[in-house]
Amino acid sequence: MALSTPAVDEDVDLAATIDPDRPWQTVVWDDPVNLMSYVTHVFREYFGLTRADAERLMLAVHNEGHAVVSQGAREQMELHAQAMHDYGLWATVRKAPR
């Protein structure tokens, strides 16, 4: 009985599917509870953003439904998402798009 090797899909680019250098993102989502002024306050207090930058991100959350508020290592993005939860905001972590 001869052993056979599994078929290899030559179209799969393993370097593209496993990309340790691709950053992660913390995304804050719109919700019906928090006031825009509060979201701006959270972005300024937690991330140390200027009023203009915090308002720009808040407006993206409000008008587009979400905004990427931070990008970097997965562990740090998870800490940011947890901090947003602690402030009462809805946040998730995702791999940055290619």
Sheet holding 90-95, edge to edge: 66-72, 24-29, 90-95
89 within a domain of the structure (yes/no): yes
Please state the domain count of the chain.
1
13 within a domain of the structure (yes/no): no
CA atoms within 13 Å, Cβ hemisphere of 82: 6
Mean pLDDT (the chain, rounded): 88
The domain of 59 spans 22-95
39 within a domain of the structure (yes/no): yes
Q: 74-86 vs 36-47: helix axis angle to the nearest 10?
A: 140
Return the structure tokens found at 14: 């393993």
User: Model's pTM, two decimal places?
Assistant: 0.79
- Tell me how far apart the alpha carbons of residues 67 and 74 are, in angstroms, rounded to a whole number: 17
pLDDT at position 43: 98
- The alpha carbon of 64 is separated from its chain's Cα centroid by a whole number of angstroms, namely 15
pLDDT at position 26: 98
8 within a domain of the structure (yes/no): no
- CATH of residue 36's domain is 3.30.1390.10
